[in-house]
Structure 1
Amino acid sequence: MNHLLALGAAVASHHDTTLTTAGGPPVAQPIPAEGTDRQALLWQWIATNHFFNSSLWAEEDLARRTTVSGDEIAQNKRAIDRFNQARNDATERVDEILLTELGLVDATSAQTDAPVAKVPAGARLNSETAGSIIDRMSIMALKIHAMRAQTERTDVDEAHRTSSQVKLDKLLQQRADLGQCLDELLADTQAGRAYFKVYRQFKMYNDPRFNPVLVAEQAAQAKG
């Protein structure tokens, strides 16, 4: 499992490189089949999570426009729901892959609604998963990317650029902290000192079977 060593720095580099090369939100890549090498599959889902976070970021900006119709804002809000669901799904997938590789989840149940955790004797439970840390690092990369752009603006005064640089330095430190926490968590899990679980979000508002408003709409439509 050498590829899990210093994963924090590798994730940060991937996030930054993707944003820099694309000049904005990264381009979605196809998801490999389940038979693909597990390491490649892990990185593909890390990239997918980053893509949907980037899409979510762009859509959140659009949703705050004040000179367009309500219909356009409604479309933005629906897109935000879709991207947020996809982002969470990718985060869970990252955890499934990592926990399977670490031997901390029963492989046959990893992708079900009730994954069965394998708990090492005496290990502490970490409330935040590795996938959720990577998800936070993705969002932090977007903040860093946007704040760095503020430090390079020529249409603002020096005070704005200086203030933005202070914020950028703090964001970089915060992301470095997250990367360190990720590495320490993975090191502790491999040493049997800690474990985490696949946590399902079960976002009911996106599911027409569980959202009471959508259930009522379907019932009304069925009555004709």
Structure 2
Amino acid sequence: MNDRPRFSAREIAALQDACTARWHREDGLPIPEADAWLRTVAEQHAANFELWHTEDRARTPGASDAELATVKRAIDRINQRRNDLAEACDTQLLDALRPLHLPQANAPLHSESPGLMIDRLSILSLKLFHTEEQIARADAPAGHAEKNRERLRILREQREDLVSCLDALWQQVMAGERRFKLYRQLKMYNDPDLNPAMYGSPSGS
């Protein structure tokens, strides 16, 4: 980032949508060429993309216990990466703000950080894509498309609201009127020192 951090929630949402469409067409999760900031945003979205489709596998009818166990472990691993990258978004923003002596220490605290809001935008992008898929389904039962058009309308409104709120937060931070903090998720389930199912078992000792 340059002296004045570049930030646009609308640009973030557009990047997430472009990645969502591309990753459904192509194998793998290629991260687009971009600056370090937008690459982190795209990597965070890639974790949500992988998590979404891995969770779908957990709901496959007839999946064996062994298959479900494998998927569950994958979900835990991907979810950890998702949270780590949301924190990385906040870290990059705070690093870019520090030379400007921002956020103002005495400004009112915003309870949700930009990284967590970006994570919510990522999930909304995936919901929008898959809802549009359902509208286009040729084999869907009667009323399915109409139901999903209403769902799509709500999702678009929710994302527009979140984009506006995130851009407003950033403008307030830049003006010294609001501040945010890095909130560590401190997940316990993947830590062999904190999860009793891991440290309390013979294999974890």
The verdict on how the C-alpha distance between 1:22 and 1:221 changes in structure 2, with shifts beyond 3 A counting, is closer
The verdict on how the C-alpha distance between 1:119 and 1:14 changes in structure 2, with shifts beyond 3 A counting, is closer
The verdict on how the C-alpha distance between 1:180 and 1:70 changes in structure 2, with shifts beyond 3 A counting, is same
2-structure distance, mates of 1:203, 1:103: 27
Shift of 1:22: 2.4
Once the two structures are superposed, residues 155-179 of structure 1 have per-residue CA deviations (whole angstroms, 9 ceiling, x without a partner) of: 1245211111110011011011111
Normalised TM-score (structure 2): 0.90
2-structure distance, mates of 1:2, 1:202: 27
Q: Which residue of 2 aligns with 1:40?
A: 35
May I ask how many residue pairs the two structures share in their alignment? Answer: 201
The verdict on how the C-alpha distance between 1:105 and 1:63 changes in structure 2, with shifts beyond 3 A counting, is farther
One-letter code aligned to 2:97: L
Q: Give the fraction of aligned pairs with identical amino acids, expressed as a percent.
A: 36
Contact map agreement 2:103 2:174 (CA 8 A) in 1: no
Gaps of 5+ in 2: none
Alignment counterpart, residue 121 of structure 2, candidates 137, 161, 174: 137
Normalised TM-score (structure 1): 0.82
| Secondary structure, aligned partner of 1:206 | coil
One-letter code aligned to 2:67: E
Contact map agreement 1:148 1:168 (CA 8 A) in 2: yes
Contact map agreement 1:26 1:51 (CA 8 A) in 2: no
Q: Which residue of 1 aligns with 2:23?
A: 22
Q: Does 1:82 align with 2:77?
A: yes
2-structure distance, mates of 1:12, 1:163: 24
Shift of 1:2: 6.0
Q: Which residue of 2 aligns with 1:60?
A: 55
The verdict on how the C-alpha distance between 1:221 and 1:145 changes in structure 2, with shifts beyond 3 A counting, is closer
Paired residues for 1:2-21 under 5 Å: 3-4=6-7, 7-21=8-22
One-letter code aligned to 1:204: M
Paired residues for 1:1-224 under 5 Å: 1=4, 3-4=6-7, 7-23=8-24, 27-29=29-31, 40-103=35-98, 120=104, 122-217=106-201, 220-221=202-203
2-structure distance, mates of 1:26, 1:18: 11
Contact map agreement 1:19 1:26 (CA 8 A) in 2: no
Shift of 1:122: 3.8
| Secondary structure, aligned partner of 2:189 | helix
